[in-house]
Structures are given as structure tokens and as C-alpha cells.
Amino acid sequence: MTEIEWWDYEDAAEMADALAGDIQFIIEAAIDARGAAVIALAGGKTPLPIYEKLVKAKLDWKRVTILPTDERIVPLGDPLSNVTALGKTFIPKGARVIPIVPAATEDYKAAGRSADALCQDLHWPLDLCLLGVGGDGHTASIFPGPDFDEALNGPKERRALGVMPEPLPPEAPVARVTLSRAGIASARALMIAISGKAKKKVLEDAIKQGASSSYPIGRVLAEVELPVDIHWSEQ
Ligand code: 6PG
């Protein structure tokens, strides 16, 4: 079971200040050590204030590759696309962004295989994986459903896969591509940013339950070896 450190913030702005600085440090260290940084960033609303701060960082962005931790299987430009939302907030000049779902398709497993092939061509392990967590305990797009076990316990070398959440999440009722647990757990640094603590208090127990948790986030973290920082903001 991984070692978890909890960080509390009054509001999303305070968390954004702290995390933008931490992420900048991780990117700089990766560039110093390996000449480049590959980072996976969460979709959803929580990280947006972080990205708005981070985009102003003075970094050698042309050495940074960015991919989403998960993506909805919709056309690029669709408001539901995480890469499209990211592009509106945060595509630093010179950074390379990997749209892991370059085109919509009915065949979500094929979309997953194509995303995995894109990830296989990237320097792995990720230097950073920044995850969000939904109120139902999903993280990235690891949701309960027919592909849940494959996302958690698929081959270690598989970095991404297609999933069909069941039930479909109301905020984005579409199939997705997600990093696998193995892809997430192999990251050199894993950060989790959760907003609206009062509404998501159940996640504290879910995370602490680890492998026996019925929540995806608990199951994902149960296999993570390196220490994990969990950042909560009240709002
Ligand atoms: C997605 C997101 C998702 C997100 C959580 C939390 O594509 O749905 O990647 O995993 O991180 O749903 O979302 P909020 O930060 O908006 O609460």
C-alpha cells in the first residue's frame, strides 16, 4: 500500500499556487536529468486554476510533452474533449500535446489500442501524472463497468485502453480512453488534486481502504509503490 501525504487548502486558488510550483519543479528536474519531460494531466474542472498558473512558468516548454490522463471519444474540438479544454487554458508555447483520441470512433477498444500505441512511442515512465477524482471515486477514466478489471489488472506494459463506463457519467456520457493503472502507477511522480472536499469526503476512506475499496481511486492507488501527495481544497 502506498504512502499517502494529505495536503489541505482553503480554496482552489491556494491549491493552484502550491501545485503549479510543484509541477514546475518536477518538469525542471526531468529536463535537467533526461533532457525532456513527459507529463499526463487530468481533465475536469479542478486542475484548471493550476494550469492557468503553470502556463506562466518560465520553462523550456519545447522539451515538454503533455498528454491527458484520459480522453472522451469525441471529435477534437468537441467541448467534451479534455485536450480541447486543456488547449483553451493551457498549451504553453512550444510544448507538444498528444491528443490520444485524434478522431471519434464507435469502436472504443480500437481507440484504446491506438492511444496505447501513441503512449508506447513516448519516453516512459511519465515524469508526472496529475489525477483528479470524481465524486464516485473514478480517476482518469477508470470507472466501474465492463472494462474496469482490464483497466486495473491488464498487462503491465499496456499504458492506455478504451473503456465504456457503466453507468455513463452524466457530465460526459461517452466512451473514453484512459491511462491504465499500470501506466499511472509507473509515473515518477503522482499527484492527486481534488476540489469540493465536503462533497467528496467519502473518498478519504475510499483511498485509505486501498485494494479492498469499492472506489476506483482506492484500487488504483493500492498498487502504487511511490509516495502519493493528495491535495484537497475545501471549495
Ligand atoms: C474526465 C476527468 C476526470 C476528472 C474527475 C474529477 O475526463 O472526466 O479526467 O477523471 O479528473 O471527473 O473532475 P473535477 O475535477 O471536475 O471534479
| Residue whose C-alpha cell is 502519493 | 228
Where residue 202 falls among pLDDT bands split at 50, 70, 90?
Answer: confident
Centre of ligand 1 to C-alpha 200, Å, is 13
For ligand 1, atom 12, the nearest C-alpha belongs to 134
- 4-233, which class in CATH? alpha beta
Domain range annotation of the chain: 4-233
What number does the ligand 1 atom closest to the CA of 82 have? 7
Q: Give yes or no for residue 119 having a pLDDT over 90.
A: yes
What number does the ligand 1 atom closest to the CA of 194 have? 15
Q: Give yes or no for residue 105 having a pLDDT over 80.
A: yes
Q: Give yes or no for residue 143 having a pLDDT over 70.
A: yes
Centre of ligand 1 to C-alpha 139, Å, is 7
Mean predicted lDDT score pLDDT of the chain: 94
Centre of ligand 1 to C-alpha 71, Å, is 10
pLDDT score of 90: 81
Q: Average pLDDT, stretch 88-97? A: 86
What number does the ligand 1 atom closest to the CA of 43 have? 9
Q: What angle do CA 201, 203, 209 make, to 5 degrees?
A: 130
Q: Give yes or no for residue 2 having a pLDDT over 90.
A: no
Where residue 91 falls among pLDDT bands split at 50, 70, 90?
Answer: confident
pLDDT tens for residues 34-62? 999 999 999 999 999 999 999 999 999 99
User: What phi, psi does 117 have (nearest 5°)?
Assistant: -65, -40
Centre of ligand 1 to C-alpha 43, Å, is 5
68-82, 98-112, 221-235: lowest mean pLDDT where? 221-235
pLDDT tens for residues 151-198? 999 999 999 999 999 999 999 999 999 999 999 999 999 999 999 988
Protein residues with CB under 6 Å of any ligand 1 atom: 42-46, 69-70, 82, 132-134, 138-141, 172, 195
User: What global pTM score does this model have?
Assistant: 0.96
pLDDT score of 121: 96
